[in-house]
């Protein structure tokens, strides 16, 4: 944690993820992570499992700050990880940023496996919020 450069792990160049699209980060023995890119180039990372029936969110259609699950059309907010009402459920979020054109995930979220969690202040946790 002392070495700043190691707090963030390079994943891929920004252009590896299409606008209004997503890519999957595969992890051995742990749930995949979906990386989303909005029209205005903001990047979000969620566990790649819809809270409904486990559908791969990375395969859904991205619109504004949301993704629609390909299996049963649940809509999840990319910033909060929450299902849009009236559906109820939350998917784990991961801190993600773009530095020098490279998408990076926060090492701490990957190591403890718990993601950024659902509690606490988003700004402190380094999670971006949609307007």
Partner 1 sequence: MSNGQKMNGHAGANGSERGGRQRERLVVIGNGMAGMRTLEELLEIAPDLYDITVFGDEPWGNYNRILLSPVLAGEKRPDEIVLNDRDWYADRGIRLEAGPDKRVVRIERGRRVVIAADGTEAPYDRLLIATGSRPILLPLPGRELDGILTFRDMADVEAMQAAARTYERAVVIGGGLLGLEAAAGLQANGMDVTVVHLMDRLMERQLDGPAAAMLKRAIEARGISVLLEAETEALLGNAEGRVRAVRLKGGREVPADLVVMAVGIRPDTELAQAAGLHCDRGIVVDDTMLTFDPRIHAVGECVSHRGRSYGLVAPLFEQAKVAANHLARAAWASYRGSVTATKLKVSGVDLYSAGEFSAADGAEEIVVQDSGAGVYKKIVLENGRIRGCVLYGETVDGAWYFDLMRSGTDVSDMRRQLVFGQAHLGDSGKGGVNVADMADEMEVCGCNGVCKGDIVHAITEKNLFTLDDVRAHTKASSSCGSCTGLVEQILASVLGGDYSEAPKEKPLCACTDYPHDVVRRTILEQELKTIPDVMAFLEWRNPDGCATCRPALNYYLLCAWPGEYVDDAQSRFINERAHGNIQKDGTYSVVPRMWGGLTNPRELRAIADVAEKYAVREVKVTGGQRIDLFGLRKEDLPAVWRDLARAGFVSGHAYGKALRTVKTCVGSEWCRFGTQNSTALGVALERLTWGSWMPHKFKMAVSGCPRNCAEATIKDFGVVCVDSGFELHVGGNGGVKVRVTDLLAKVETEAEVLEYSAAFIQLYREEAHYLERTAPWVERVGLAHIKARIVEDAASRKALYDRFLHSQTFAQKDPWAERAARPAEREGRTPGDEFAPLALDLA
Our CB check for partner 1 shows the closer of 103 and 127 to be: 103
> Of the candidates 71, 102, 108, 125, which one interacts with partner 1 according to CB under 8 A?
71
**What does the alpha-carbon distance between residue 44 and residue 94 come to, in Å, rounded to a whole number?**
8
**Are 109 and 125 within 8 A, CB to CB?**
no
Q: Does 21 bind partner 1 (CB under 8 A)?
A: yes
Q: Is 114 in the site for partner 1 (CB under 8 A)?
A: no
CB of 118 to partner 1, least distance (A): 22
Of residues 63, 58, 66, the one with CA closest to residue 24: 58
Is 60 a binding residue for partner 1 by CB under 8 A? The answer is: yes
Pair 113, 103: CB distance under 8 Å:
no
Confirm or reject binding of residue 35 to partner 1 (CB under 8 A): yes
Residue 31 in the binding site for partner 1 (CB under 8 A)? no
Q: Which residues contact 114 (CB under 8 A, 6 or more apart)?
A: 92
């Amino acid at each position: 944690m002392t070495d700043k450069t190691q707090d963030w792990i390079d994943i891929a160049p920004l252009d590896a993820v299409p606008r209004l699209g997503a890519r999957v980060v595969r992890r051995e023995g742990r749930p995949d992570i979906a990386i989303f890119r909005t029209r205005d180039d903001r990047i979000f990372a969620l566990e790649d499992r819809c809270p409904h029936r486990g559908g791969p969110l990375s395969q859904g259609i991205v619109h504004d700050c949301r993704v629609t699950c390909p299996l049963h059309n649940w809509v999840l907010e990319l910033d909060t990880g929450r299902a849009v009402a009236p559906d109820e459920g939350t998917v784990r979020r991961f801190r993600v940023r773009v530095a020098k054109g490279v998408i990076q995930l926060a090492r701490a979220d990957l190591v403890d496996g718990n993601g950024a969690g659902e509690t606490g202040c988003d700004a402190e946790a380094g999670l971006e919020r949609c307007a």
